[in-house]
């Protein structure tokens, strides 16, 4: 939740300023609202074929963008190039959320910065009806600051799948008797913010502001998703695009489950189902199921 609180509350002002500044960027602003200081979000290209956006973090503000549409299930993909050099304390995210209430749903991909030369940590998490603490964290097997890589969330009624460059690294299954995000429409968010108090080595390493501004780039965003089509508010029905069948029943096959096992065996740095200190009364129920 801190990813929301760390940003400036000047979103409405930022949107109007940026929309007026560049007619060529209309495509981006038709799809997204801006969060944080207006001059911290820069549309690098938006020519109808490719779209690239740079987010900036400095002492004054973080930045981000949020989809105007809300979704109930979908396949969400983006290419990202993360902050290079000493990025300790920074957090870059790509996630879905129904809001900030006590009973909210959320599906997270977050990247926690590092001291130069150390690997980035990718944190994945699922919140259902306000219940979170379901993190799997991985060291990436490549340098995510050297080039763009593709990160994807597939969310359907059966499971949630996290992918990196089309490699599945995690699946979170639905069980009928356990909480699962399935009824609350969610917006897509992308943010860059100061997570010094928790992100790098549990908050031991803070941001070195001498390296600011910090910049992360997003491009190639796509959402093949069911959109809330009730403009009056509330969830009444959804509009699912052509191609929904490619993901709406998607579950991992044996070979793909093998890549999940490979990622867990070689790159997993944290598994909530192995954290006895955090769950002294016993692990969450899904930890005991296959």
Q: Which one from 106, 135, 256, 286 is the annotated catalytic residue?
A: 106
Q: Which residues, in sequence order, are CB contacts of 1 under 8 Å at separation 6+?
A: 100
Beta-carbon neighbour count of residue 187 at 10 Å? 18
DSSP 3-state of 243: coil
Beta-carbon neighbour count of residue 166 at 10 Å? 9
Comparing C-alpha atoms, which of 48, 17, 13 is closest to residue 31?
Answer: 48
Helix (H) or strand (E) holding 257: helix 254-267
8 A C-beta contact, residue 131 and residue 155: no
Q: Which one from 110, 256, 264, 286 is the annotated catalytic residue?
A: 110
The conformational region for residue 152 under phi > 0 = left, psi -120 to 50 = alpha, else beta, is beta
Residue 110 is a catalytic residue? yes
Beta-carbon neighbour count of residue 11 at 10 Å? 18
Helix (H) or strand (E) holding 193: strand 187-194
Rounded Cα–Cα distance for residues 70 and 214 (Å): 29
Rounded Cα–Cα distance for residues 210 and 242 (Å): 48
Rounded Cα–Cα distance for residues 26 and 18 (Å): 10
Residue 106 is a catalytic residue? yes
Q: What are phi and psi of 106, to 5 degrees?
A: -160, 145
Residue corresponding to tokens 């390296």:
211
Beta-carbon neighbour count of residue 41 at 10 Å? 23
Query: Which residues are catalytically annotated?
Result: 106, 110
């Amino acid at each position: 939740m801190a990813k929301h609180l760390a940003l400036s509350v000047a979103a409405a002002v930022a949107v109007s300023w940026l929309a007026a500044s560049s007619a060529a960027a209309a495509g981006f602003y038709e799809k997204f609202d801006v969060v944080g200081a207006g001059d911290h979000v820069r549309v690098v290209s938006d020519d109808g074929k490719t779209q690239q956006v740079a987010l900036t973090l400095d002492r004054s503000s973080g930045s981000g963008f949020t989809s105007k549409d809300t979704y109930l299930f979908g396949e969400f993909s983006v290419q990202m190039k993360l902050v290079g050099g000493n990025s300790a304390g920074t957090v870059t995210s790509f996630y879905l959320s129904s809001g900030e209430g006590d009973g909210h749903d959320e599906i997270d991909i977050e990247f926690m910065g590092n001291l130069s030369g150390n690997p980035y940590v990718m944190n994945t998490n699922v919140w259902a009806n306000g219940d979170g603490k379901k993190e799997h964290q991985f060291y990436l097997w490549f340098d995510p600051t050297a080039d763009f890589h593709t990160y994807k969330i597939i969310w359907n009624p059966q499971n949630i799948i996290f992918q990196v460059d089309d490699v599945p690294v995690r699946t979170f299954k639905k069980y009928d008797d356990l909480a699962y995000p399935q009824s609350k429409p969610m917006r897509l968010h992308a943010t860059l913010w100061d997570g010094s108090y928790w992100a790098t080595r549990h908050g031991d390493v803070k941001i070195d502001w001498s390296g600011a501004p910090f910049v992360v780039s997003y491009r190639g965003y796509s959402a093949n998703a069911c959109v809330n089509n009730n403009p009056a508010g509330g969830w009444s029905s959804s509009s699912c695009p052509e191609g929904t069948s490619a993901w709406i029943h998607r579950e991992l096959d044996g070979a793909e489950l093998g890549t999940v096992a490979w990622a867990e065996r070689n790159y997993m740095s944290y598994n909530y189902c192995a954290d006895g200190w955090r769950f002294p009364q016993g692990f969450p129920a899904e930890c005991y199921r296959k």
